Structure 1
């Protein structure tokens, strides 16, 4: 495969999975064939999207859908609208999605899609015209039992509505062919909150394992990157559980609590309004000296003096090796990804060394995104179930199901990590590798289904 073009994001994701599967493959070498096959998408769709701007000028973007693996169910994964979207990024996200969806325990496969169209700076009418053109081609390849997209960066309920409406008009059928829908047309309670809430529920189990049941977030200081949907709802849940959120960020810089009292729910609501208008976080202001915005792309990990928990919730590779070392120096004990591949491989290595060398008493424990941020796709799966039954569950019902799914994802990471420890991992029984355990559990579930279908033998 060396003659293929370089795909750095996908290659990073593949290497992360492959390296952690080593203890399992050493015991069951026949699964190497499954790994060889699973890393190639079942189908990659690329197409052009021509749309008209407000001046009547024809504009063109690239559209993509990577249908990576359908062993466990129909393809499931978000649509990302952002200028840096390319095939490498979407293959990385689709590959991650296979294992994330596997960890939910639901019957959903893995896929991802989107376009290099950037909604920032576009009018509402331009976004609508783009989405309807994008959906006119995409509708050929998706459906309620085939491929069910969802939202991602740049793609909200508004954009989902345009895609849903276009699909319904062309196909002449009302079917749950996309998730993240509005509540009046097939959406689910807790769906907007699910990724952020699920992330915090996952970390609660990590804290309980190291510090005892019932400890939780109360009194904990938390730094969060990002200021979109995931970051906002993670922050709200941390605050609800008694923690203090000391930072949020965007691509321009980081907003830090100067007085240590952190953000309130009212502050988060203001930030949500800022982001809904596609404005920058710097417009939040200093709130009478309580907050400071540090620009030039500053990130939270080195701009808060001390903190207990780090939650990367912005984009891939947003926490590097040096920042990981700084996080540990600043007292961080838990890192969990709300974003996909939020930590570089070098940063993960730093946290894994900390786990092995520090044990329960001193470790900075790492929770991988494919498990920790699985809450979003989990509730998307629940939305699909509600659509199939033509009913809608209450907030309490969905939230409890989300909690159960996140516990099972965490527990599978924990127990499988304890079972398949890498050589030299002396603390694996006490504090196992969650990334290793998660990858092995998810991979085996998918590989076993593929073998049953005759995809490898």
Structure 2
């Protein structure tokens, strides 16, 4: 069997935290459940053939990993990126099971995508690829079966192309994709939800750790990435009175001690909408002429931030190494919360957790992506609900629901971590890694027992 390093990393993180808790002592019947839930219910792999602008035949691999449906229809994004393979999609789908469980909504876990690279492709080529991709995927999805969403390189435009192709193939209008346009079934706050939800989760972390004495106001926040999650995380930091020290993309990192303002973040959002780079932007736009703004080609921001309170990886998996974890701790970081999925390597998580346990007073508190970035899929579930009812909620209502979901998710992680803790340092803050993993696992496994999938 071929090596699947990303999936193995995700599996080992769950397995280790479960074994290092008292869960199996209190529920020995759950031991056998891990080997069942770690195998997808179904893996679909298919060929995608399409025509480029020169009339040449192109071919890509398409995938959908339908991992677990115990809590509801499979739910998870579609990623278009040349690195997409089964290992990455299985890791993302496995994480999605427990993330979705933590939202408190009735959705299962899945993930999909293709090794198609949209960079350098025309809009017409992207449309043709999306139509070809959906020509096969439509056989396997539906509003009550599997509801994909966007992910890396699959934004509102691509969701529109995919939805149109699905509707024509099935001759039905239904909420089979989320992240849709507002005029045809989308939800207000959905584009913002992952980034906003991340900050609502961090807000709860700060209040809990400081017994309500501090908030995000005045905090120095380092953010990686410059896509949807990073953009709205940055906007929410500014709204809450914090300072945004960095953003980045695959070409390099922008770092500033003085902080980015709203106009600068908006300029980055605009250039990303046009598929541009931060390097290109800062060389052309006078908004970035401040000598305090530094650009580091080919780098991530973590080792270049001199002083920081909150670290928010929002780019891709394994973007904080052990050395980078030590660097942000040395720069004063007190909170790390992942906007990306599995944003930290296992070695980095070990550094963060050791720091958490090293003293009575707060040194560093780490929140994994399956909890901290659950806001996006939570509002996708709310979009599904609106589609079923043929209703549209106000932005205020959706934002209020999002805030409540992230608060409930945080509280669930804390109380579960305390309930199943086996740690000797009783004064340490609860492990949000263990809390998230155990709370999500228990909810899914209990449903599987009750449905006869486990016995």
Residue 436 (structure 1) aligns with:
434
Contact 1:81 1:119 in 2 (8 A): yes
Residue 292 (structure 1) aligns with:
294
Residue 263 (structure 1) aligns with:
260
Deviation at 1:427, TM superposition (A): 3.2
Counterpart-to-counterpart distance in 1, 2:409 and 2:423: 24
- 1:453 aligned to 2:451? yes
Counterpart-to-counterpart distance in 2, 1:238 and 1:351: 22
1:326-375 CA-to-partner distances (Å, cap 9, x unmatched) read 1111100000000000000111111111111123x232100110000000
Between 282-291 and 97-106, report the one with greater CA deviation: 282-291
1:122-179 CA-to-partner distances (Å, cap 9, x unmatched) read 1100000000000010000000000000000000011111111111111111000000
- 1:208 aligned to 2:207? yes
Residue 326 (structure 1) aligns with:
327
- 1:371 aligned to 2:368? no
Counterpart-to-counterpart distance in 2, 1:352 and 1:72: 30
Between 268-277 and 62-71, report the one with greater CA deviation: 268-277
Counterpart-to-counterpart distance in 2, 1:425 and 1:42: 39
Counterpart-to-counterpart distance in 1, 2:38 and 2:161: 32
Deviation at 1:423, TM superposition (A): 4.1
Alignment of 1:305-384 (within 5 A): 305-359=306-360, 361-384=361-384
Residue 285 (structure 2) aligns with:
none
Q: TM-score, normalised by structure 1?
A: 0.97
Counterpart-to-counterpart distance in 2, 1:325 and 1:261: 23
Counterpart-to-counterpart distance in 2, 1:319 and 1:425: 26
Counterpart-to-counterpart distance in 1, 2:290 and 2:320: 30
Residue 11 (structure 1) aligns with:
8
- 1:242 aligned to 2:241? yes
Q: TM-score, normalised by structure 2?
A: 0.97
SS state at 1:77 partner: strand
- 1:31 aligned to 2:30? yes
Following TM superposition, the consecutive aligned residue runs of length 4 or more in structure 1 with deviations greater than 6 angstroms are none
Counterpart-to-counterpart distance in 2, 1:201 and 1:362: 20
Deviation at 1:214, TM superposition (A): 5.6
Counterpart-to-counterpart distance in 2, 1:448 and 1:67: 19
**5+ unaligned residues in a row in structure 1: which ranges?**
none
Counterpart-to-counterpart distance in 1, 2:2 and 2:444: 27
Contact 1:355 1:427 in 2 (8 A): no
Contact 1:312 1:319 in 2 (8 A): yes
Deviation at 1:211, TM superposition (A): 1.5
Counterpart-to-counterpart distance in 2, 1:367 and 1:256: 23
Contact 1:375 1:402 in 2 (8 A): yes
Deviation at 1:422, TM superposition (A): 2.7
Deviation at 1:298, TM superposition (A): 1.2
Contact 1:356 1:426 in 2 (8 A): no
Deviation at 1:292, TM superposition (A): 1.6
Q: How many matched pairs?
A: 448
**5+ unaligned residues in a row in structure 2: which ranges?**
283-287
Query: Cα RMSD over matched residues?
Result: 1.0
SS state at 2:118 partner: coil
Counterpart-to-counterpart distance in 1, 2:363 and 2:234: 24
Contact 1:224 1:313 in 2 (8 A): yes
Residue 274 (structure 1) aligns with:
271
Residue 304 (structure 2) aligns with:
303
- 1:192 aligned to 2:191? yes
1:199-242 CA-to-partner distances (Å, cap 9, x unmatched) read 00000010001113262111100000000000000000000000
Residue 85 (structure 2) aligns with:
86
Residue 397 (structure 1) aligns with:
397
1:361-413 CA-to-partner distances (Å, cap 9, x unmatched) read 23210011000000000000000000000000000000000000000110010
Contact 2:209 2:362 in 1 (8 A): no
Counterpart-to-counterpart distance in 1, 2:126 and 2:213: 46
1:81-138 CA-to-partner distances (Å, cap 9, x unmatched) read 0010000000000000000000000000000000000111111000000000000100
Contact 1:74 1:147 in 2 (8 A): yes
